Structures are given as structure tokens and as C-alpha cells.
Structure 1
Amino acid sequence: TPPPPAGATAAPSAPVASGAPASAPPVKVTGATYSDNPAHRMLIVNGKIVMEGQQIEPGLTLEVITPHSAVLNHQGSRFNINY
């Protein structure tokens, strides 16, 4: 297939599932801070303070924090957790 034309936008990101894939490591959220400013958002997950874009465990990344949930990515599979 030919490359996309100049100025083409990237394909939309993968859809978000509501449950963790079976292969994902266990995730336990014990604290959260939400702010309209993404730089001030953080979760305490598995005993670690994690901000958006950081890895929780190898292969498991915190993508987005919302007021009552978060989107995680485990090896390309995106899923939502509520806390």
C-alpha cells in the first residue's frame, strides 16, 4: 500500500475496552487526584504514584485520568478501570 498523503492525520487510536485483558497485571488504585490541568493528575496504583503517560508496570501504561476512572494500555490493548 502507498504511504498516506502529506498532511494526512494518523489513524484513530485503539478503542477502549471496559475490562482489563486477562494478560494484564493486577491493578489496585488506592488514591487519585484529578485536575483540569493534566500536569496535576495522578494515581496511586500498586503502591506507586503514577502520572499520565507513565508506566505502572513494564508493558502497562497509564494513558488518561478522569474524575472517576482511568484508561490504561497493556501492550497495545486499551482498557478502562473505575475507582
Structure 2
Amino acid sequence: MTYSSEGKGTIATYWLALFNSSHTLASGTHNVTQGSGAHYYSAKSNASKSNVCLAVENNNNTTNTYTVAGYWDEETD
């Protein structure tokens, strides 16, 4: 996560979900700090050869919304 409109060094929670009607969880959840560099996590086996989406939410349970930006490399081993 290279940018967060919430501010420098803030945290967002990311995970993978299957791209289907139920958005089945396809990884664990991971708190990522803005500006902390690259992070690599494993997916669950149900993500293999499936369409997935990257999901994110504010980590501090508020109704506020923020914009985040960064890079996702789905092929990284």
C-alpha cells in the first residue's frame, strides 16, 4: 500500500475472496501499514486456478471511508 488518504503510516486490512456471488474467503486477513514496503502472503487452496478479487477495509471499525492505492502481483510465489 503506497498511499492512504487516511494518512501516512495508517493500516488497512486486506484479503483475497473468490470472485463469485458469495465472495468466499480465499486467504487470511492481513493488516498492512501504508509505506511499509512489499508484503507477501499465501492464499488458500480454493484460490488456485480461480478468479479472485482483492478486498480491503478500514482496520478501525468506523463508518469513515478512505482511498488506498498500491500494487498487487498475483503471480508472486
Q: Which has the higher contact order (CA 8 A, sep 6+)?
A: 2
Greater Rg, structure 1 or structure 2?
1
TM-score norm. by structure 1 comes to 0.28
Higher strand share: 1
TM-score norm. by structure 2 comes to 0.29
